[in-house]
Amino acid sequence: MTVHKKVFTDASPYFAAAFNGRFKEAKDSILRLTEEDPVTFSWVVKGVYGNSFGFYQKQDMTLLRYAKLEIALDKYQLDELKNNGSKDLRSSCMKNWVNNTSVEDLSFILGNCPSTAFVYQLAILYACDLIKEEPRHIWSFKKCFQEHIDLALKIGEKLAEKAGKTKGKKR
């Protein structure tokens, strides 16, 4: 994918450092992002050029796609785009996410997103709802919990909170 260097160096300290420093990328004017998901990066490119995510189709924006987009925006230090564009995107897609997020997607998000990210907090709530509805789902998160014991504790606390609220309502 070819993009305008000036547009990206103006938008991102990450790209500015890569293209304006003494790196090979600066000399060649080529940056290979082989580890990046092509769909996610195409959304990043469209977002940088438009400074928004108004081009997306609501049904295409899953919670997992949003999480990957947030990870990329953080990685490439596209703070303005993250602060402006992704908030609008998030608010318009949340209803779609509730019914279309798998246990595998939640595990990816919980294992890869910073705990301060909105998408991480949302994934915890969705995981709690899944486990509360169907306790056997807890085993689906086993690997994720083994790698992130603090996550298991947070979900346990959320479930206990919800159970406390439910008990209070029944009285």
Secondary structure (H, E, C), the chain: CCCCHHHHHHHCHHHHHHHHCCCHHHHHCCCCCCCCCHHHHHHHHHHHHHCCCCCCCHHHCCHHHHHHHHHHHHHCCCHHHHHHHHHHHHHHHHHHHHHCCCHHHHHHHHHHCCCCCHHHHHHHHHHHHHHHHCHHHHHHHHHHHHHCHHHHHHHHHHHHHHHHHHHHHHC
Higher pLDDT, 139 or 18: 18
The reported pLDDT for the residue numbered 171 is 43
Q: Where are the domains of the chain?
A: 101-171
The reported pLDDT for the residue numbered 57 is 57
pLDDT digits (tens, 9 = 90+) for 38-95: 888 888 888 888 866 666 655 567 788 888 888 898 899 988 888 776 666 666 666 6
